[in-house]
Structure 1
Amino acid sequence: MSYLPTAWSYSTLKEIAAVLADTADGLTGREIGDLLVRLRMEDPLPTATKRDRLAESFVAAQNRYQSAKRVITFIVAAMEPVRYRDRPDLFTLRQDRLNERLAFVGLHVNDDGKVATGAVAHTLDEASRVATSIRDELDRRRCHPEVLKYCSVEILKKAHFHACLEATKSIFDKLRSLSGLSGDGAGLVDAVLSLGKSGVPLLAINSLQTQTERDEQTGLANLLKGLNGLYRNPTAHDPRLRRSIGEEEVLEVLTMVSMVHRRLDNAMSNHD
C-alpha cells in the first residue's frame, strides 16, 4: 500500500462489518472465523451475531495497531476475486456497498479486490456519487422495478450487453401480458399499439382525443420498434465482441425502458 492507514471511527468499523457480515449477502460465520484465524486477528466475541463479532474483531485489531491496517487486510482477503469465480455478481454487490462506506475515509475497493485511495466524501450525497454503481444510479432514478427484475444479475455482473437485451425483452413480455397476444417484435407492437384503420389500439396510453395524443401513441409504438431494432435484434444475433456498450449507454437504455413501463402501467385496454 502506498498510503499509511489511520484509525477509523467506530461507526465506520461497524458499517464495514455490517456489509461483510450481512445476513443475506455477507460472509458466513465459518468464512469469518476462517479469515480471522488465517490473518491472526483476535476474535473477542465468537458466539455473537456475525456483524457484532466482526465489528469487535475490527475494533480489537485497530486498538492493537492504532490504525485500520489490519481491517484493510481483512477486506482485501474477503474481496479476493478468486473467491467469487462462481458469483461475480456477489463481488460487485459487496464492492459497491463497501465503497459507499470507504468513501468517507478516502478509499475504495477496485476491480482487483484491492483497497486503493480515492476521493473523500463528507456527506451522504458525496458518498453516493463517489461510490456510484449502475444499480445505485438506477435506484436514485427510481427505475421501474420490472426493469431490475429482468436484468439485475446482468447489471451486477457488469454485463451491459445482456442487460440491454434483457431489459428490452421485458417490454415485449409486458405487451403480451397486457394484450393476451403471443407475437413479438415490431409485429407485436403494431398489433397492440398501432392506431390502425379503426383508430382504436388494443392498448391506449392516453384518451386519443386530440391529434397530439394520437401522435404520442404512435410515437411510443415507434420508440419500441426502435429499441427492438437497436438492442434486441442486434444483441440477440451478433457476437458479444461486436457490441460494446458502456455504462452511460446502458443507463440511458434502462432509464428509457423504465419510462416505457410506466406508460404501459397506465395504459387503457380496448380488447375484450
Structure 2
Amino acid sequence: MDRASLGRLGRKLRLATCLALAAVTVAACGTGPLLDKFTAKDEETFSDEPADKLYNEGLFLMNKQSDLKAATKKFDEVDREHPYSEWARKSLLMSAYASYQAGDYDTCIGSASRYVTLHPGSPDAAYAQYLIAVSNYDQIADVSRDQARTEKAMRSLEEVIRKYPTSEYAGEAKKKLQGARDQLAGKEMAVGRYYMERRDYTGAINRFKTVVTRFQTTRHVEEALARLTEAYMAIGIIAEAQTAAAVLGHNFPDSHWYKDAYGLVTSGGSQPSENKSSWISKAFRKVGLG
C-alpha cells in the first residue's frame, strides 16, 4: 500500500502535529490564531487532565512514529474522559489514523466506523470511511488464499464512492477498487487453470465465465476468453469457441491471447465467428466493449 495516498488528511494532521509540538516546546511564547485552532480552550473537563493536553500529547507521540500505540491510547483517553467535546470527535479520527499507521487494521476499522456512525455529517467523515476501506484493502491476501477480505475491501471502497462521490478520496477509492477486482479475477483464473489441468472443462468454463461477466474490465479478461476458446474446443462446442475467439479478436486484436485462440479455432478447420445469441457476445454488448 502506498501510504502517500493517505496524505490528504496528513496535510491537516501535519499542521496539527507541528502546532502541538510548538505548544509543548515553546508554550511560554504564547499562542497565535492558528495554534488556537488545534489547542483546546478551556471547556468541559471531566478528568484530571484537560482534553487539549491529552490531545496534544497524542499528537506528539504520533509524530515520533515509534509511539503510535501510546498515541492511540492518549486519543482514546480524550474520547473516554471528554466524550461530548469537540476534542473527542477529533481524537476519535486521530485514533483511527494512528492505528492504521501502526498496522492495527481492526482497531482502525472499529474507530473509523464509530466515527462515521457518530459524525456522519462531519467534513472528515469521508476520510474515516476511506480509512475503513484501505484497512481492508491492505489485508488482501494473494490469489492462492481465501479472498473474503478482498470482497470486504470492495464493498467498503464502493461505499466511499457511493456516499462521498465528490470527495478527494473517491478517486483513490476507484483506483483501489479496480485493484481489488483484478485480485478476485486472478483468483478465478487460478482456479480455472487448475480445472483445465485436470480436464474438468465444465468447472473451468464456469470460472472463466465469472471473469468475463463480473470482471470484464480487468487485465485477466483476455486470457479468460482464450481459455474459454480452449475449453469449448476440448468438449466440442465449436460455436462457443468461435464466439470466444471472435470477441477476443474484436476487443483485443493485438493480444497474444488472440493469436493463441485463433490458432486453436483454425486448427480445427473453423474461423472465429461471433454468435450474437451467445452469452459471451451478450456479456460484452452489455458492458459496451463488444
Q: Which of the pair is proportionally richer in helix?
A: 2
Same fold per TM (> 0.5)?
A: no
User: Quick check: which has more Rg, 1 or 2?
Assistant: 2
**TM-score (normalizing by structure 2):** 0.31
Q: Which has the higher contact order (CA 8 A, sep 6+)?
A: 1
**TM-score (normalizing by structure 1):** 0.33
